[in-house]
Amino acid sequence: MSDRLPGTSDPAIIEAIRAVARGGDADAALDELLAVARSVTDAARAVALLWDGPAEALRVAGSAGLEASDAAAYTKAADDRAGAIGTAAHDRRAVLGAVDPVHPDAILAAWPIVVGGAGIEEPIGALAVSRPAPWALDPVDAERVAAIADLIGLLVDRARLTVDALERGEWLERVANSDGLTGLANARTLARVIELEVARASRQASELCVAVFDVDGLTAINERAGRAVGDAVLREVAAVITETVRLVDTVARDAGDEFVLVAPGAKGPGVIRRIVGAVAARPPIAGTAFTVSAGVARFPNDGTTEADLIAAARSALDAARATGPGHVAEAHGTPAAS
């Protein structure tokens, strides 16, 4: 035990604060904090148990001096809400002298780990240290370890905020690059993909197809069956396209009832015809049957830029629709039944 007085410079606490302040890997910082807690108390072992939401139980999150076989035993001991670890974690009350449930010849002390915000404290676990009996924990050392438990709470809270920020960033990225109704890529992403694929096809002298699909008679479906049915049709068409395309293909909802497929290589036209056939084979939605027509443009015969290829595919789509629902037309040829 240390003979330092409260309020004097405390290297152990300074070390603990720095472990958190440095940021970086949260697991490494937790290990440092536990090592400090063990050192401050001359304990044989220190362990942090944190709440695992999916398991609805406390689990060992980090330790110092703990045998690998002990982790499961401390996890099981934490299930006892009347025990030292359970009392600290659930009742937010420190227990400073109890028989160690895993090592009966040792004394265990436990402190609550909490996170707080907006005046609300949330218990998330417990910090426990253990050393052979007899042991009477010095009050000053107890305060030091209580402070370390608070630092662990701060560390966990910061890790949560980091995860939340990353998840929100990923969500914003998805929103910025995907269509809200179908989950497919949006026009912004489509423009970028076509630009990259045209550059690749030009550089490698390879083939590339761009197809524009249109849901036949979607306006009439909306008027007859309602907008909800029309939206369901769009989602179903998107699902069919997603199931049918290859990994190298990109599909986007461009606007309204139009979908655009960017298909590198020579097999693009075959993929496009399979999509048209698969949509036609889908069962009706709310008694409403639906089909798609498609226009196909090829690089470089029908265009060498994004705008040229999309325009050529739309022109071919007009020809396909003139033939009737569920048809495919090539930009350089005549409409052909799918």
Q: Do you know the residue count of the chain? A: 338
Say whether pLDDT at 85 is over 90. yes
Number of domains in the chain: 2
pLDDT of residue 336: 39
Which residue has better confidence, 112 or 189? 112
Phi, psi of 247 (to 5 degrees): -65, -30
16 and 92 co-located in one domain? yes
What is the CATH number for 191? 3.30.70.270
Radius of gyration of the chain (CA): 32
pLDDT, one tens digit per residue, over 127-144 is: 999 999 998 888 989 999
How many Å apart are CA 109 and CA 46, to the nearest integer? 10
246 and 169 co-located in one domain? no
Cis peptide before 300 (omega within 30 of 0): yes
220 and 171 co-located in one domain? no
Q: Is residue 182 part of a domain?
A: no
pLDDT of residue 94: 93
Q: Tell me the CB-side half-sphere exposure of residue 95, using CA atoms within 13 A.
A: 24
pLDDT of residue 338: 38
> Where residue 168 falls among pLDDT bands split at 50, 70, 90?
low
Q: Is residue 180 part of a domain?
A: no
Average of per-residue pLDDT values in the chain? 84
224 and 307 co-located in one domain? yes
Q: Is residue 34 part of a domain?
A: yes
> Where residue 6 falls among pLDDT bands split at 50, 70, 90?
very low
127 and 31 co-located in one domain? yes
What lies within 8 Å, CB to CB, of 206 at 6+ separation is 200, 264, 265
**Three-class SS state of 253:** strand
Write out the DSSP string of 166-210.
Answer: HHHHHHHHHHHHB-TTT-SB-HHHHHHHHHHHHHHHHHHT--EEE
pLDDT of residue 175: 43
pLDDT of residue 248: 85
191 and 320 co-located in one domain? yes
Poorest-pLDDT segment among 174-183, 284-293, 321-330: 174-183
Question: Sheet containing 258-264: which strands, arranged edge to edge?
Answer: 250-255, 258-264, 208-215, 292-299, 327-330, 336-337
Q: What is the mean pLDDT of residues 248-256?
A: 83
SS (H, E, C) 56-93: CEEEEEEEECCCCCHHHHHHHHHCCCCCHHHHHHHHCC
Which residue has better confidence, 200 or 6? 200
Which pair of structure tokens corresponds to residue 63? Answer: 């330790």
Q: Is residue 181 part of a domain?
A: no
167 and 191 co-located in one domain? no
251 and 161 co-located in one domain? no
Which residue has better confidence, 180 or 312? 312
> Where residue 162 falls among pLDDT bands split at 50, 70, 90?
low
What is the CATH number for 25? 3.30.450.40
Domain that holds residue 203: 187-337
pLDDT, one tens digit per residue, over 20-75 is: 777 667 888 888 899 989 998 999 999 999 888 767 788 898 899 988 888 889 98
Q: Is residue 1 part of a domain?
A: no
48 and 94 co-located in one domain? yes
Instruction: Examine the fold and report which residue of 151, 175, 199 is the final residue of a domain before the chain moves on.
Output: 175
Q: Is residue 258 part of a domain?
A: yes
158 and 209 co-located in one domain? no
Which residue has better confidence, 6 or 302? 302
Q: Is residue 163 part of a domain?
A: yes
Strands in the chain per DSSP E:
45-52, 57-64, 95-99, 106-117, 120-132, 208-215, 250-255, 258-264, 292-299, 327-330, 336-337
255 and 289 co-located in one domain? yes
What angle separates helix 70-78 from helix 84-91, to the nearest 10 degrees? 60
Instruction: Examine the fold and report which residue of 124, 142, 175 is the final residue of a domain before the chain moves on.
Output: 175
pLDDT of residue 166: 54
Poorest-pLDDT segment among 33-42, 182-191, 273-282: 182-191
228 and 330 co-located in one domain? yes
Q: Is residue 3 part of a domain?
A: no
First-to-last alpha carbon distance for the chain, in angstroms, is 84
Instruction: Examine the fold and report which residue of 154, 175, 196 is the final residue of a domain before the chain moves on.
Output: 175
